[in-house]
Structure 1
Amino acid sequence: MSTAYTLETGRTSPNSSTRRSKVRRIVIHHWDDPRRKPTFDGTVGWLLRDSTDVSAHYVVEDGRVARLVPESRVAWHAAGGNADSIGVEINPRQHDGDYETAAALIADIRSRHGNLPLVRHRAVEGSYTSCPGTYDLARLDRLASGGPVPSTTTAPAFPLPRRPGRMYYYGPSGGPQTSVSGRGLNTAVPADVQRVNGRWRSHGLARWQQRMAERGYSITVDGRFGEETERIVRYFQALVGLPVDGKIGPSTYAAAWTEAVR
């Protein structure tokens, strides 16, 4: 794992104790519900207060890691699991960069302690929490272990018409009729774009979004093309070596099933 990050070591939490057990696992946390708008610095500041009686070894977001407790000491992060674990707090927004930086940190930790398993905070004995939300530990583990997992899945047929001069794709609203956004009626593809519970949506686009969610991307499966979907399309196209145009044509559509999971 080669992703670079800045390691901040200038601040140490007072909430730690002597380690007497071997490190056997890495406990994954998120900072808080993203609707509460938690921040990296706010999380670090809270974990540095001696009055909280809470800490973690690391706080992580895209490109940035703060070490608050040395791995040689026990951080207070997971009730009955503190003694034999390392605690990692990650940005709950689950950007691709958050996954990559956290995975690089995990790889570094494993280089020192062996191939430690990843454990959700809520799975630790004595913990009563929903933390770390929907974080995909399998994706973290794949990235930390060295990269993509080959896909053996056959892609479904591309749902939109492809005729000379009329090459349809999934893309933003406000464009030509060939750009199917799922956000309104498109008379050229009435079977694909339909009203569901009072909202227009594209069935084919929703299927692609669902597949990307299964690959570990934090994407809303609503059959509607917006900024979030376009950002993920562009990132994915660059990742798998496709032209980066932000549009879901046949190649980008199929790649969600046939390209290696990264």
Structure 2
Amino acid sequence: MLRGMVDIISRSEWGARAPRSRQTTSWSARTEFIVHYSAGPPSQTPRQIQAFHMDSNGWSDVGYNFLIDTDGKIYEGRGWLVVGAHATGHNTSGIGACFIGGNGDATPATRKAIRALYDEANRKAGRTLKIRGHRDVGSTDCPGDDLYAWVRDGMPADGAGEADGGGGGSGGGGQVPPWPGVYLSYPPITRHPAVSTWQGRMRERGWSLTVDGAYGARSRSVCSAFQREKGLTVDGIVGPDTWRVAWTAPIT
């Protein structure tokens, strides 16, 4: 078992074959976290997926960096810093995390594990990686509509996505707008339509903030204060969790 902030079942524990070759990269080159599904039954094993990739596809190893099952178990694939074979043009920049199953098979435990793996990747990288579904970087249905809806919403830590209705809580704002996939930060000033959406929501919550579509020093200050109030990581950046909580947390 590989122990860090998350427990990962090592290659030796699940009986992985030795790779034919391997190419490593660095954390400075890692910029994104890409979610996949195997599109097969949840009963598949990492060994079966590796065998298909090596024997049928002719690859050097299983294509993904990590695999996650319906019980929320995380299996080491190629690992953190070995270049994968999961998304053409994004194998060096992207960490590939594959759910073992098809559309609609992912469980709350699956989502919780993927989110924990993503948080660990950010911790190791020392910065926030972009969240992607495979279909964001290639012509594919992967990772399925169900899991992709959650990915698109920023992979909320509670496992809920747009399909779960969002919102809730006394004084909350109803359904959460889809996560825009853009981190709002300063410096430099971030200019994006999502900035106005977030600024407008913060004004609704009672914060003194001009809705101008420019995320600058004042927006960062409000964000940090809001994060501190709600027990979030205080970094002054509107990421998936801060975005979601702006709509779901009770207004106090």
Task: Provide the TM-score with structure 1 as the length reference.
Answer: 0.48
Bigger Cα Rg: 1
Question: Relative to total residues, which structure has the larger strand share, 1 or 2?
Answer: 1
